[in-house]
């Protein structure tokens, strides 16, 4: 899919703008048959664009305000703690050349197996790999779980309503979603029992024994090292006669 959106980017040198700051994010533009271009982006404008296009929509990246390139956001590196973008990879596409991309799956609808039978929805996939022309690339794929009415109903890759212009690069018999039966009270009880471990079976843990009433508690024997310190020196160290 393409959108009439343009994001401005400044070309930067290798020695400047390698890391994100309060206002800018570094990035790189690459593609088939072109030289890599390192860029710097306004943080607020990039975040706004990213929310709108995601990673499966073609838009224009304007280098220094005039050199426009058709691109996809290929990867966004985020800060582990804040979740904010730290670096962006753009991939320049040719509109007449097929590309491979990952499409996000968005689950919609309501399953009777969940609502009425108390089952648990199992999502086996959250994205799917496809191949097509950039202009035919869907921004996302909706997965309607309404047909899952029993625990024997499944949604397969072949059930997804992709356009004929899109080649799905996943086995069509792959299960996308299903509903599993809820655990019985007996199964939950067994599971809880299995989780509880006897600490005496854990390596390095010694079970202390409580002495019987009136029984004398013997002190622990000295360690080998302590005994060696207390033992007299060997005959080799005695005075010679």
What is the Cα–Cα distance from 201 to 132, expressed in whole angstroms?
57
Mean pLDDT of 186-214: 58
**Block residue for tokens 């090292």:** 225
What is the Cα–Cα distance from 64 to 9, expressed in whole angstroms?
6
Between 83 and 212, the higher pLDDT residue: 83
Residue 139 Cα to chain centre, angstroms: 20
Instruction: Read off the DSSP letter of residue 224.
Output: H
Average pLDDT along the chain: 83
Mean pLDDT of 204-226: 52
What is the Cα–Cα distance from 48 to 46, expressed in whole angstroms?
5
Q: What percent of the chain has pLDDT over 70?
A: 73
pLDDT at residue 151 tops 50: yes
Strands 37-42 and 58-63 turn out to be unpaired
What is the Cα–Cα distance from 16 to 26, expressed in whole angstroms?
9
Mean pLDDT of 20-38: 91
The pTM score is: 0.68
**Block residue for tokens 């995601």:** 54
Domains and their CATH numbers in the chain: 2-93 (2.40.240.10), 100-184 (2.170.120.20)
Q: How confident is the model at residue 236 (pLDDT cuts 50, 70, 90)?
A: very low
**Block residue for tokens 């969940």:** 114
Q: How confident is the model at residue 1 (pLDDT cuts 50, 70, 90)?
A: confident
Q: What percent of the chain has pLDDT over 90?
A: 62
Per DSSP, what are the bridge partners of residue 41? 25
Q: How confident is the model at residue 82 (pLDDT cuts 50, 70, 90)?
A: confident
């Amino acid at each position: 899919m393409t959108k009439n959106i343009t994001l401005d980017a400044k070309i930067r040198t290798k020695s400047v703008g390698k890391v994100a700051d309060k206002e800018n994010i570094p990035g790189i533009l690459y593609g088939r048959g072109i030289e890599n271009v390192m860029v710097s982006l306004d943080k607020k404008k990039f975040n706004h664009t990213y929310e709108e296009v995601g990673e499966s929509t073609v838009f224009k990246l304007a280098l220094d305000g005039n050199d426009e390139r058709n691109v996809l956001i290929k990867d966004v590196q985020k800060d582990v703690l804040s979740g904010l973008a730290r670096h962006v990879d753009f991939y320049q596409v040719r509109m007449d050349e097929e590309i491979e991309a990952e499409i996000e799956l968005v689950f919609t609808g309501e399953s009777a197996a969940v609502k009425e039978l108390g089952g648990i929805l199992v999502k086996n996939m959250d994205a799917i790999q496809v191949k097509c022309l950039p202009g035919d690339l869907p921004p996302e794929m909706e997965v309607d779980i309404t047909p899952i009415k029993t625990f024997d109903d499944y949604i397969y890759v072949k059930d997804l309503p992709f356009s004929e212009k899109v080649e799905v690069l996943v086995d069509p018999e792959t299960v996308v979603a299903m509903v599993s039966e809820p655990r019985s009270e007996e199964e939950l009880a067994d599971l809880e029992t299995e989780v509880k471990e006897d600490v005496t079976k854990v390596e390095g843990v010694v079970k202390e024994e409580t002495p019987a009433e009136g029984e004398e508690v013997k002190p622990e024997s000295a360690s080998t090292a302590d005994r060696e310190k207390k033992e007299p020196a060997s005959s080799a160290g005695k005075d010679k006669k």
